[in-house]
Every structure is written in structure tokens, then in C-alpha cells.
Amino acid sequence: MMREKAENTVLAYRNFRKKYNISLETLAEAANTSVQYLSALELGQKDLTPRARELLYAAMELVLMKQQRMADVALFDFSGTKDKLFETVQEVQS
């Protein structure tokens, strides 16, 4: 059963995701679901079932934990190389 939704409203989850620059693609991958499904949940176009809530919680937590680990590694790398960051080197292709 769909709840009545005020015009121009979304789940606060969407605003939180955007605040921290987390893409729907990243969350969809973490949740093993589609971008379209996550977007529909955020926009109130799909029912927010208990299962959907758990999916959203778990995906966000996974993404945030991964970002934290990456930031920790980057900070460690930065502290060990910051004195060399203004030397010229060959560009690395990502």
C-alpha cells in the first residue's frame, strides 16, 4: 500500500546520499539491485517495505565503510609521499 506523498518530497535517504556524493550506481552495486529500483524507492514511487529498508541500510553502510577504508589508505599513502608530490613523474593511467 502506497503512502500519500506530498508533492516534491523524497526520502531523506536521497538527500543523505547526495550530501556525501554517493551515486545510485554505487549503492545499486552494493545492494545487488537496480538503479531504477533504488531511485523509485527514494522518490516514493515504490513501497518502502521492511525488506527495502534493510536493503537501503545495508547498502549505505557498506558503501560508507568502503569509503572510510579507502580514505584511511589514501591518508596513509599521502603522509608517506607528501614531500614528493610536487616532483614531475610519468602520468599513471587509471
Number of independent structural domains in the chain: 1
> Cα(31)–Cα(33) distance, rounded to whole angstroms?
5
CA distance to 72, 79, 80, per residue, from 66 (Å): 10, 20, 21
| Residue 41, domain member (yes or no) | yes
| Residue 51, domain member (yes or no) | yes
| Residue 88, domain member (yes or no) | no
pLDDT of 23-60, one tens digit each? 999 999 999 999 999 999 999 999 999 999 999 999 99
| Residue 1, domain member (yes or no) | no
pTM: 0.78
| Residue 93, domain member (yes or no) | no
* Residue 2 confidence (pLDDT) above 80: no
What CATH number has the domain bearing residue 59?
A: 1.10.260
| Residue 27, domain member (yes or no) | yes
Mean of all residue pLDDT scores within the chain: 92
